[in-house]
Amino acid sequence: MRSPFEARTATLAEILGDPAGLAAPGYQRGYSWTPTHATQLLDDLLFASDDPDDEAASYFLGAVVLMHQPRDDGGQAMRCDIVDGLQRLMTVTILLAVLRDIAAYEDEHARALVAPYLLRTLPEVSRGGHVADTVVLLPNASLATFFRSYVQDAGATATMPADESLPGPAERVLAVREQLMSALVGETTHRRRRLLHFVLERCFCAVISTHSIDRAHTIFSVLNDRGQPLARGDILKAQILGAIPATRQAAVAGRWADMEQRLGGSLEELLTHVRTAEGRTRSRTIEDLRTLIERAGTADAFVEHTLVPYADILETIQRCGTSRSLVPERIDRAVSYLGWLQGADWVAPLMVIWRMNTGDSDWLADQCERLERLAFGMRVLGLGSDKRMQRFKAVIDNTRNATPDSPQNPINLTRDEQKLIQFNLKNLHQRGQAICKLVLLRLNDEIAGTPQRLDPAGFTVEHILPQKPGRNGAWRTWFDDASVRERCTHSLGNLILVTREQNERAKNRDFADKMAIFLEDADNAPALTRHLAGLATWTPDVVSAREERLMALLCRLWKLPPRRAAHGFRPDDPAVAVPD
């Protein structure tokens, strides 16, 4: 009996090289991946492609379910509908487009290699008597034109749409594109070419194909909805506990259960941080843990002398910023601010620093504050997760070598990095909205004089001078010069923190109306917003003065070089009345 579906293993080159091409059916959701998802994928791919110990390294991207749509004339399918795997395939397409456009002027081999997997002549184009390039992967109708214009066409990833109000899926495409571009543009040509070959030739999917929509959705449901997958943490637990003698298994299992309870569930997060802290970051997790167990001598010794101490440290870190915190205030503040950052790449170096401490809380506080400064600084610099991880690894190595106080310690920002941070701060919202909000929250606590414990998720960044002010009214009177208006709009001095509901109500209203909305509950408003109370006007001089004062505060906070105040800076202006 003929099977109702076909299953095979295929490389991405084989999937994207299918003569029929791929399409998102109308029922598919829009693009939903975020820069965090894309960064994790890129990190995994870079780690796998960089593995010096495995010439046959590969990466499994998961299952892809395709439905072949037969043509009326019985010929080859014009396109295959992507029933499952669309998000991954679109993200890979964005990655390939970024690699193509970076290579356009420096690596003709890479550019030519990737081009056919983005645009080529497909059957339905040549069938009508003319030949033209079309896309290999066709998103749903609402996103297709945008995706081609800003991803798939040659040079598309270097362009930006003029319209700032984009639908959510289009915004996410741009955000992922910019994140991947930022992470890869600073890499060497050799490393990007190696990554490109790896993505096309060594990334595999389990491809399941059928000709029936009902069967396709049954397969999709089985893959996504049924059963409880075995977590990697469960596999690691079995590996470790299984290597312990029977006479000790009950006792160690009890220690394991205690750690799980204290850390709130699976120990996979702990194990991930431990392998990084112990210098294993470029290979496979399970193999890395085996190596660490061998280094400890026995699985029992690994649990007792490595895992348990790190679990205690991680629990202490997790308590910071809560009523259950057990550490001095300086340490608590620095670790709480680190916890705002998306991702946890800072945890492993902090665990190593903590474990190296001999009981000197002042020394530990200094190291926590330096790590927080580095972590925020790298975000302001726009460094991708791979570069951040390399820097944190250098911090770990330096700490292990017992030279944390050396001027060359990579935990310190270089002079050039400090200058670039100052430059990026002036229009930080344009460079990265997420880190801009966190920088404003840091400033808010400095102005308040004590942590206000604001939840970053509850606030958004608002431009006091609107990004698109109406043609009439005070905004155009106060900011009549277009170039001055553009500079002031994106200035750090023009930004405050408000709730999303306040932001929606304020929009393009005039200054007095905005302030009335933002300060209607002044006692609970962020200090950064509250200190604007009493202002009657919002002019270029006020924006510039406030920018200078906020910049001076950040320079003091992060020990950046002092800046010369711009002409017109008035320290007595109420708009900049923040503490010295």
Span 273-297, mean pLDDT?
79
- Read off the pLDDT of residues 331-389 as tens digits, 9 standing for 90 and up: 999 999 999 998 889 999 999 999 998 889 999 999 999 999 999 999 999 888 888 98
Cβ neighbours of residue 257 closer than 8 Å, sequence gap 6 or more = none
pLDDT at 432: 84
Q: Which two tokens stand for residue 203?
A: 């990334």
- Read off the pLDDT of residues 412-424 as tens digits, 9 standing for 90 and up: 999 999 999 999 9
For residue 510, the SS3 value is coil
Q: Helices (DSSP H) in 449-539: which residue ranges? A: 474-478, 482-489, 500-506, 511-518, 527-530
Confidence of residue 71 (pLDDT cuts 50, 70, 90): low
pLDDT at 233: 66
Judged against a pLDDT cut of 90, whether residue 14 lies above it is answered with: yes
Instruction: With CA atoms as reference, report the closest residue to 310 among 365, 347, 363, 265.
Output: 347
- Read off the pLDDT of residues 219-258 as tens digits, 9 standing for 90 and up: 666 566 544 444 566 667 777 887 888 788 888 888 888 8
Mean pLDDT of the chain: 84
Instruction: With CA atoms as reference, report the closest residue to 553 among 439, 382, 383, 417.
Output: 439
CA distance 418 to 395: 18
Judged against a pLDDT cut of 60, whether residue 566 lies above it is answered with: no
CA distance 518 to 530: 8
User: What are the residue boundaries of the structural domains of the chain, listed by start?
Assistant: 5-225, 433-576
* Contact yes or no for 285/271 (Cβ under 8 A): yes
CA atoms within 13 A on the CB side of 467: 12
